[in-house]
Amino acid sequence: MNTLDDRYTTPKESLETYIDLVRFGEDTQVLDSRQVDRLFERGQADPDHAQTVLGWGKELREAIHDVFRALIDKCPVPRAALARLNAYIQGASGHMRLAPVKGGFAWNYDDADELESVLWPIARSAAELLASDQLSYVRACFSKTCEWFFLDTSKNHQRRWCDMTRCGNRAKVRNFYARQKNNY
Binding positions for Zn ion, rule: CB under 5 A = 141, 143, 146, 148, 162, 167
The amino acid occupying position 117 is S
Query: Least distance from C-beta 148 to Zn ion, angstroms?
Result: 5
- Pairwise CA distance, residues 168 & 37, whole Å: 35
Could you tell me which of 126, 133, 154 has the C-alpha nearest to residue 63? 126
| Helix-strand-coil split of the chain, %, nearest 5 | 55, 10, 30
Distance CA 111, CA 84 (A): 22
- Closest contact distance (angstroms) between CB of 134 and Zn ion is 19
Rank residues 117 and 143 by Cβ distance to Zn ion and give the closer one: 143
User: Cβ closer to Zn ion: 78 or 168?
Assistant: 168
Nearer to Zn ion, 80 or 164 (CB): 164
- Least separation in angstroms between residue 162's CB and Zn ion is 3
Compute the distance between CA of residue 152 and CA of residue 60 in angstroms, rounded to an integer: 22
CB of 151 to Zn ion, least distance (A): 13
Least distance to Zn ion, CB of residue 180, Å = 23
CB 148 within 8 A of CB 160: no
Q: Quick check: 64 and 1 in contact, CB under 8 A? A: yes
β-bridge pairing 12-13 and 4-5 = antiparallel
Which neighbouring-strand residues pair with 150? 139
Shortest spacing between CB 175 and Zn ion, in angstroms: 15
Nearer to Zn ion, 68 or 120 (CB): 68
Identify which of residues 31 and 167 has a Cβ nearer to Zn ion in the complex. 167
Nearer to Zn ion, 66 or 147 (CB): 147
Tell me the sheet residues that pair with 98.
Answer: 107
